Structure 1
Amino acid sequence: MLRTRVRAGPIAGLVMSVLFALVLTSVQVADHYVRSWAPQMGRAAAVSVRVPYGPRVVRDRDTGRSELHYEHQRIVVPRGTVLQPGSDSHWTAFSYDKRHRPPETPRLVAVFAIFFTLTMGLTAYLRRFGHQRLRLLRVQAGLLAAMGLLAALSKALLLFTALSEFWLPIAAVPLWIATSFDRRTAFVVTVVLAFAVASFLDFDLIFLCVLLARGMAATLLYLDRKRSRQMILAGALAGISAVALYVAIMVTFEGTFDWRADLSQQMGSQLIACFGGGLSAGLLSALLRAPASRLLGHVPRERLLDLSDLEQPLLMQLAHEAPGTFEHSRAMANLAEQAASAIGADALLTRVGAYYHDIGKSTQPKYFVENLSPDERSPHDELDPDVSADAIMAHVVLGTKILREGGVPEPVTEFAYTHHGTQLVEYFWTKCQQAGNPKGLDASAFRYPGMRPQTRETAIVMLVDSIEAASRTIDPPEREAFETMIQRIVFTKLKDGQLDDCGLGMNELNVIVNRMADALVNMHHHRIKYQWQAKRAQEFGVPSTAVSDDPRHTAERERPGSQSTEPPAAELPPVEPVPASAPALEVGVASVAPGDVSASLLQPPPATTRSVSGPPGPARADESPPPRAESGARPALSLGEKKTSSAS
């Protein structure tokens, strides 16, 4: 059984929210249950005691009365300081801490409810609006773990250091999220984490505002997400933003702000702390980028660049055992990278995924047509259709196993078990039905055992896998023919539901269609025929495939004195003419409900009288061919491949 990645549902979100709320509640009140940490007059403080700035409601437990107190300065009694009864600040800190020991049950329930509500909102957002990979259970658990660890670190800094609370580097997590996924999710994480950490100081309003501003500024100002040093710059700029906000708030509350007196306190300065907290967040995020990426289920750019090296053992194995598949994967990688770049997806991850998606074919390469020599007999000629289908589908499971055993990150391994989704191996299913289906098999026995693409990157590789193979049959290689073929493939995937979970919008599909058509035209560009080729073709009576019918090329050949200085290319083998009886794969436009696709995709491909066909033979057996045209449809487009009964 193929093990795939699990998506987080509402139940999983509820469980994670309860656990995360319990963890944060414990972190917040843990110090109030340790009796040895309780401050006592005349003794050294076991932990730092902090009194937040601004208004707060103080409730007397004995009388039950509540009073409004306002602190015009932040009070911090550092750890190890002997509390003096005659010191106003020490007495205020002692009284403040005493009122919180031990926490009352209603307060605990209220704190838990706040954390639970925030976390439930976060998980619900991730399921409905977050990046596709953030909807996975493993990634959501890693995100909450990162937030919990940073919250615990913040609590430890508050208890065991005398640093200002503004030094807390909570903007590191939003920077990691912006690097691995997207900025919108980073904003949501900033809000949740800022409220959680601010609760450690009774929801200090100024502290909360500074944390929010610094996290959002760091996310917005993190422009080049490919380089770690940009994290440091974004953190420094976020620190400057926090300084400006802090001064503005203090002037609003107090009417004035003595910045000289504040800076004279050096490490106790709130301005230095506001800036230092942003800078430290940038440094922390840059230093821990690699482990944080692993925790969040994201592959760092450095690791992807390493995997893209064609001298990687797995890629060398594929090139040696299945050279046809290897060349197909390389061509796919170029196309897929362009498509991903056009819609703002992770282009490097898409390229690497295209390299490794068919690694399973290296175990049984002869079952796939691209690895057979022209005169080599296909092993499928001797097999029953269901056995052939099993052999074809096995490359998905075997490829996933090879990649996992080889230590390839799961986001790259995901391409192996999603590039065919749950498509039907229609060629062998049809062959089974034509034989009378003697074993009484169901169509499900001919469906791939993987899962549908869950991200834009894996969906692009699924589309390009079919597009690159079909593009080899288009002759002449003109844009109109390429665009028609690409639209048919996209319609087929849409109709089969293979793109339902990937997050690709119709606007993005339209961009992909146009970019792929342009890329294929550029890939299959014409070249000028050399004089020796024309002479050779006349001697053998065979037309040369190097001849270009483009009028521009004809004019270039006929221009006096036009002679190429390039060395002559290798002689091309003669091309056999296609028999008139060669079967063509009829493809009809899939029916799509109105409003489901963009106008450019809805319009049917233009009719053409041009012959667009290939050598006789069945379609690729590992691809589900597009649906047949209904009665009365326009002439079908032939997408036939080399004559063989094996699958590609």
Structure 2
Amino acid sequence: GEPAHTTLRLPYGPRIERDAQTGRAELHYVHEDVLVARGVVLQPHISAHRVAYAQEQRARPPSTQRLLGVFAIFFSLALALTAYLRKFGQNRLKLLRTQVGLFIVLGVLLFFSKLGLLFTSLPELWLPVSALPLWVATAFDRRTAFLVTMISSFIVASLMQLDLILLSVLLTRGMAATLLYLDRKHPRHMVFSGLLGGLCAALVYVAISYTVEGSFDFLADLKRLASSDLLACVGGGVVSGAIAALLRSFVARVLGQVPRERLLDLTDLEQPLLTRLATEAPGTWEHSRAMANLAEQAASAIGADALLTRVGAYYHDIGKTIQRSYFVENLGPDEQSPHDELDPEVSADAIMAHVVVGTKLMREGGLPEPVVEFAYTHHGTQLVEYFWNKCLQQGNPKELDESAFRYPGMKPQTKETAILMVVDSIEAASRTVETPNRDTFEAMIQRIVFTKLASGQLDESGLELMDMRIIINRMTDTLVNMNHHRIKYQWQAKRAEEFGVPSSAMNRPSAPEIQIHGSSTMPPSLPPGSEEAEAENESLNELARTASSAVRRVRDDDVA
């Protein structure tokens, strides 16, 4: 005979076989579904009629009705998954590129599962389908991982004519591994979760065998070694965990996530963009570092990605390096603000331009898109209140609409970017608190959070009310700890007495006069000066108009 080109299998189920001694036909549930392994030479004694039947079924082209049925099932599953992600998906799951990446990973996994069925003689229970929910649980959340487990298990089982045992094992193994996957930071825990999921699947396999057949021979099954179904249940879980751990970084990129190693690399203060920010806009850099500490604490408290939030805080204001003097935190003690000579709408456009410029710089610097997202969402569609109020105080001579003073967006799409938006205002406002204690900090934080909530800035972020309560409490604790009192040294007390400074003032942290909500703060506007100032004003106007046009295009180009 000729060697078999592919492995021939029959799904688990009842078989009518004739007893060789009694000659009676008996009903058996067959576990050894491999008829002929790939490469085995076909001989007359190898169940010729069963081999012929399997070969005929494989060679015969499927009917149109069957193809339509399979297509309808797969299409319905894909549509259901997409609808769930669009409506109930958290954070980045609502983005089209994330959904496309998820379907690509699912398709590749199914492709290799089919190859495993065709070209190996191992039991199909070895298929590492549980790797997919582990990846999804790492990148997103467990609820989505459960749904992906059900869909992938059903599709793989359909490759074996909806094998009941295979479907039950894959469902149990995937859900148990996801549920027991407690530490999502370290890849080695994927293997441990896969092992636990495999043990749970083995228990379910034995339970089904007892239910259907009334018995199960443990020793006979284990003696089959690689062909053992129990070992396949457990080993498939371990293999799933190992594959998930090995390919974790690669799959994370496909799913639109940033690997932890890459994020740690971006926290290096010698990164070119961070060096540039610290050199050219030192005030902004100090603000970003303070924000990073606050935002990381808030993200950790609600179970968000704390490391990604810290990285986003470092880079979100990189656009301020282009025109550093437009932002008051970068002005020297005697340095005049260019906004003194600018019209309010031009100043607002110049301020808003740092979002567009920052997005451009970060993309040119090769930063991952989830990090770039912090740049164009940390102001959302907020109003630059200072310059809008200044425009109203001047009588709004050009009859401008409020929309001319709003950031172009987008609104925060993830919990991490929403946290950064809130912390951006909290960090700036905390510097103006005259009496830094728990009550004043808590009142200030509540006002900022509820203002952004009422204005709709957090609608698309996935933050829940419980998350906001936790963030408020954690931010309050952090600010209280940052502004704790210290006992003054003896030489300080003596020095204070010489200058007539009250003793209580030595124990109070200083608070710079910064008071702009929703944007970088600006000093009070002054009337135009000399002709030189007017000429400088016109030059700055032209520069700001260029930035304004970029802001107007951001929704359709850079950001969208």
What's the TM-score once normalised by structure 1's chain length? Answer: 0.76
Counterpart in 1 of 2:482? 523
Counterpart in 1 of 2:7? 48
**Alignment of 1:73 onto 2:66:** no
Between stretches 69-78 and 263-272, larger displacement belongs to 69-78
Counterpart of 1:619 (choices 516, 519, 528) is: 516
Contact 1:618 1:645 (C-alpha < 8 Å) held by counterparts: no
Q: Give the match's secondary structure for 2:9.
A: strand
**Alignment of 1:259 onto 2:218:** yes
Contact 2:384 2:517 (C-alpha < 8 Å) held by counterparts: no
Q: Distance in 2 between matches of 1:223 and 1:388?
A: 49
Counterpart in 1 of 2:289? 330
Counting only pairs closer than 5 Å after superposition, residues 12-31 of structure 1 correspond to structure 2 as none
Contact 1:455 1:501 (C-alpha < 8 Å) held by counterparts: yes
Contact 1:336 1:461 (C-alpha < 8 Å) held by counterparts: yes
Counting only pairs closer than 5 Å after superposition, residues 24-423 of structure 1 correspond to structure 2 as 42-55=1-14, 72-76=30-34, 77-88=36-47, 90-100=48-58, 101-423=60-382
Contact 1:178 1:219 (C-alpha < 8 Å) held by counterparts: yes
Shift of 1:535: 2.8
Contact 1:329 1:354 (C-alpha < 8 Å) held by counterparts: yes
Q: Give the match's secondary structure for 1:261.
A: helix
Contact 2:432 2:515 (C-alpha < 8 Å) held by counterparts: no
**Alignment of 1:467 onto 2:364:** no
Q: Distance in 1 between matches of 2:179 and 2:497?
A: 66
Contact 2:428 2:515 (C-alpha < 8 Å) held by counterparts: no
Change (3 A) 1:209 1:288: same
Between stretches 301-310 and 203-212, larger displacement belongs to 301-310
Change (3 A) 1:618 1:248: closer
Counting only pairs closer than 5 Å after superposition, residues 439-450 of structure 1 correspond to structure 2 as 439-450=398-409
Contact 2:296 2:310 (C-alpha < 8 Å) held by counterparts: yes
Q: Give the match's secondary structure for 2:507.
A: coil
Contact 2:425 2:518 (C-alpha < 8 Å) held by counterparts: no
Contact 1:452 1:498 (C-alpha < 8 Å) held by counterparts: yes
Task: Write the deviation string for residues 16-47 of structure 1: whole angstroms up to 9, x where unpaired.
Answer: xxxxxxxxxxxxxxxxxxxxxxxxxx433221
Counterpart in 2 of 1:3? none
Shift of 1:523: 0.7
What is the total number of aligned residue pairs between the two structures?
A: 515
**Alignment of 1:498 onto 2:395:** no
Q: Distance in 1 between matches of 2:357 and 2:374?
A: 13
Task: Write the deviation string for residues 128-185 of structure 1: whole angstroms up to 9, x where unpaired.
Answer: 2222211111111101110000000000111112121111101111111111111111
* AA aligned opposite 2:54: Y
Contact 1:47 1:160 (C-alpha < 8 Å) held by counterparts: yes
Contact 1:369 1:644 (C-alpha < 8 Å) held by counterparts: no
Q: Distance in 2 between matches of 1:620 and 1:207?
A: 59
Q: Give the match's secondary structure for 1:206.
A: helix
Q: Give the match's secondary structure for 1:92.
A: helix
Shift of 1:441: 2.9
Q: Distance in 1 between matches of 2:81 and 2:475?
A: 37
* AA aligned opposite 1:300: P
Q: Distance in 2 between matches of 1:210 and 1:461?
A: 43
Contact 2:328 2:523 (C-alpha < 8 Å) held by counterparts: no
Shift of 1:319: 0.7
Shift of 1:81: 2.5
Contact 1:44 1:82 (C-alpha < 8 Å) held by counterparts: yes
Contact 2:382 2:518 (C-alpha < 8 Å) held by counterparts: no
Q: Distance in 2 between matches of 1:408 and 1:368?
A: 24
Change (3 A) 1:507 1:316: same
Change (3 A) 1:496 1:45: same
Larger fraction in helix: 2
Q: Distance in 2 between matches of 1:460 and 1:156?
A: 45
Q: RMSD value over aligned CA atoms?
A: 2.3
Q: Give the match's secondary structure for 1:547.
A: helix
Structure 2: unaligned runs, 5 residues or longer: 17-26, 527-560
Contact 2:415 2:462 (C-alpha < 8 Å) held by counterparts: yes
Shift of 1:515: 1.4
Q: How much identity, in percent, do the aligned residues show?
A: 64
Shift of 1:240: 1.8
Q: Give the match's secondary structure for 1:319.
A: helix
Q: Give the match's secondary structure for 1:526.
A: coil
Q: Distance in 1 between matches of 2:336 and 2:304?
A: 41
What's the TM-score once normalised by structure 2's chain length? Answer: 0.87
Q: Distance in 2 between matches of 1:539 and 1:72?
A: 97
Shift of 1:514: 1.6
Shift of 1:75: 2.7
Change (3 A) 1:434 1:454: same
Contact 1:346 1:457 (C-alpha < 8 Å) held by counterparts: yes
Q: Distance in 2 between matches of 1:645 and 1:312?
A: 37
Counterpart in 1 of 2:540? none
Q: Distance in 1 between matches of 2:43 and 2:126?
A: 27
**Alignment of 1:429 onto 2:326:** no
Counting only pairs closer than 5 Å after superposition, residues 548-587 of structure 1 correspond to structure 2 as 548=507
Shift of 1:532: 2.5
Q: Distance in 2 between matches of 1:490 and 1:272?
A: 54
* AA aligned opposite 1:538: E
Q: Give the match's secondary structure for 2:356.
A: helix
Change (3 A) 1:56 1:316: farther
